[in-house]
Amino acid sequence: MLCIYSINKNHSPVTIFAIIFVCIGGVFLFNSRIYNRLKMAIVLESFIPTILTFSSLMAIRYIHPHFSFLMIVSGVVMYLSYLFMALIIIMDTFKKRPTAP
């Protein structure tokens, strides 16, 4: 019973992070600075740490406290990928476009 309550309690941040990364990833896919394979790798790389972060939260509680290191690493990678995508979007937004004569 306690495990089910804990999973339900952790479900809402996972959903919110997924929505945030879908929005940022969708905008990121339309930038012009980075090309196809690297774009897809970066977008997918943002979802994997999200899954690992919240999985390690459960693993810390029910398996072993040393899973906290996995949570730290995956959290750092998750936020770095988010910041990288946001930075590229901002740079692409303010890029000077050539004007037509």
Tens of pLDDT, residue by residue over 70-89, are 989 988 988 898 899 899 88
Q: Reply yes or no on whether the pLDDT at 12 is more than 80.
A: no
Which pLDDT value is given to residue 87?
Answer: 92
Read off the pLDDT of residues 17-55 as tens digits, 9 standing for 90 and up.
778 888 888 888 887 778 888 888 888 887 888 888 888
CB atoms within 10 A of CB 59: 17
Alpha helices in 32-97 (DSSP H): 36-62, 68-93
Question: Cα torsion at 6, 62, 70, 75 (round to 10°)?
Answer: 10
Q: Kindly report the pTM of this predicted structure.
A: 0.74
